[in-house]
Structure 1
Amino acid sequence: MGTRSGDIDPSILPWIAEREGKTPQQLNYLLNNESGLLGISGVSHDYRDVEQAADGGNRRAALALTLFAERIRATIGSYIMQMGGLDALIFTGGIGENSARARAAVCHNLHFLGLSIDEEKNLRNATFIQAENAVVKVAVINTNEELMIAQDVMRIALSDKVTFDVSA
């Protein structure tokens, strides 16, 4: 989401190519390296920088933050439909773990799902940030990618069923 476009209408590609004189390779670069938070904000791919710019009055940065949260909300809605409901919403990763603002924006007006957050808990990065009366649990879970990789390596290394094909 920092530099990639996310979901787009495919009919936009020929329009951009014709209007801007872009080659397929240039379109690919644009969609993967100059879109997302960077493309909309015109500031940075880093959410923290975009927040700071929005706080300073940068309207494009504010728009980028709004669209970022709205895309996540749309995805959550899609998943809820597929799963038939929601028991918990988990925030993790760099932005999910560190931006109370992003979490608040994503959870804004989701009371109809039984989901609301406690602003004070959210601001102090508590593990569980749902409001007292919320039906849906909302958690902030720290990632530990190095631990996950180490656990996977140990599982594979200790398994006698794993074979490695080095001929490829």
Structure 2
Amino acid sequence: MTARNILVINCGSSSIKFALACEAREGFILHGLAERLGEPGAVLAWQQGDLRDSIDLQGAGHEAALAHLLPLVEKALDGPLHAIGHRVVHGGERFTQACRIDAEVLRAIRDTAPLAPLHNPANLLGIDAAMALYPQLPHIAVFDTAFHQSLPPRAYRYAVPEPLYSEQHVRRYGFHGTSHRYVCHRAAEISGLALGDSNWLSAHLGNGSSTCAIANGQSRDTSMGLTPLEGLMMGTRSGDVDPNLHSHLARTLGWSLERIDHMLNHDSGLLGLSGLSNDMRTLEHARDQGHAGAALAIEVFCYRLAKSLAAMTCALPRLDGIIFTGGIGENSPLVRNLTVRHLHVLNLELDGEANARCVRGVEGPIHLAGHPRVLVIPTNEERQIVLDTLAVLG
């Protein structure tokens, strides 16, 4: 049987990760990242073998980035492309595993877009562009929400009238499931533990951020909810706020629901608190220069992250370790250090040198000997999507 080539397209709220994989090869044929989309610093960077290159996208959004990206894939292909795997953030209760995309699935993804307004529309851009270029290929949707279908009712139900759940499907779904699933497998592997007998707290930190309690390979609780707005403070998203904030702003300022939703999703989080940027790299530099808003945003981010991780321990029979992943989790020793300081009751202690070393793809433990594990594990959602896509193909 010919080894199959799979393209993965992972459109996030401000980025596109992509990877071209062959099932017979360990690494990727081509992989890259378009980031800071819609901002002046937008850039597309990629690697093929030892060759690295990048282009300035000059503030381009998702569609323009995809227009640059897909020809690179065509050029890098050696043999036919067999399928394309797409990350889709919200699958609702309907999608509990990866599936082949058809007209009905597309409609369902669009119908679910109001629950993930920063993500499902971006995911659909990638799907539409790829299906236009490769209409004859199987396109597979891999859903972030699928991993969290193992949450028990005590974790996913809201304390609202029952018909809102039974008729309107109002419940907690959780997101970043592909990332949390990948890193817990890797954490068990590098720690010499069986996945089915290990318990982890996972912190996926980026422009979107979430925590997850993973017991014996299954998600048992997570910080995001009905939509990706719930939970941690993020790049431009507020995370948890008083549920009465909407009515308060409507009464006192006359704001519409649309304006409030836009503010909470696009103008809040690190950007809103700092008044400067949603990018942690920019904020850390500004903090070092004495910018009070940047310092406050980072402190609130880390404190709320620590609170969420501490709360997630309620879902675990024991704690085998904490995992930091995602763009911030993998690359910010400062965030990891400030967060762990707030978790002193868990007896966590970082090794300063190891913590500083784990950036730009360096994986490993960063805890002092004799203290609970703290691991930095670069996420690889693209690899997990390849595996899920191959499983759907059979």
Calculate the TM-score normalised by the size of structure 1.
Answer: 0.88
User: Is residue 330 of structure 2 the alignment partner of residue 97 of structure 1?
Assistant: yes
Gaps of 5+ in 1: 159-168
> What residue in structure 1 maps to residue 347 of structure 2?
114
Q: 1:91-116: per-residue Cα shift (whole Å, max 9, x none)? A: 01100100000100110143431211
Deviation at 1:85, TM superposition (A): 3.9
User: Is residue 376 of structure 2 the alignment partner of residue 143 of structure 1?
Assistant: no
> What residue in structure 1 maps to residue 97 of structure 2?
none
Q: Aligned partners of 2:366, 2:345: CA distance in 1, in Å?
A: 17
Q: Aligned partners of 2:269, 2:376: CA distance in 1, in Å?
A: 24
Q: Aligned partners of 1:110, 1:8: CA distance in 2, in Å?
A: 22
Q: From 369, 372, 378, give the equivalent of 1:132.
A: 369
Indicate if the aligned counterparts of 2:303 and 2:342 stay in contact, CA closer than 8 A: no
> What residue in structure 2 maps to residue 163 of structure 1?
none
Q: Aligned partners of 1:10, 1:128: CA distance in 2, in Å?
A: 38
Q: Aligned partners of 1:92, 1:101: CA distance in 2, in Å?
A: 14
Indicate if the aligned counterparts of 1:110 and 1:116 stay in contact, CA closer than 8 A: no
Amino acid corresponding to residue 368 of structure 2 in structure 1: A
Deviating beyond 3 angstroms after TM superposition, the runs of 4 or more aligned structure 1 residues are none
Q: Aligned partners of 1:151, 1:23: CA distance in 2, in Å?
A: 44
Indicate if the aligned counterparts of 2:238 and 2:268 stay in contact, CA closer than 8 A: yes
Structure 1 pair 54–17 and aligned structure 2 pair: CA distance change class (3 A): farther
> What residue in structure 2 maps to residue 11 of structure 1?
244
User: Is residue 309 of structure 2 the alignment partner of residue 76 of structure 1?
Assistant: yes
Q: Aligned partners of 2:253, 2:283: CA distance in 1, in Å?
A: 26
| 1:2 counterpart SS class | coil
Deviation at 1:124, TM superposition (A): 0.6
Q: Aligned partners of 1:16, 1:60: CA distance in 2, in Å?
A: 23
Amino acid corresponding to residue 46 of structure 1 in structure 2: D
Q: From 129, 144, 157, give the equivalent of 2:393.
A: 157
Deviation at 1:133, TM superposition (A): 2.3
Amino acid corresponding to residue 152 of structure 1 in structure 2: D
> What residue in structure 2 maps to residue 88 of structure 1?
321
Q: Aligned partners of 1:25, 1:146: CA distance in 2, in Å?
A: 33
Over aligned residue pairs, what C-alpha RMSD do you find?
1.4
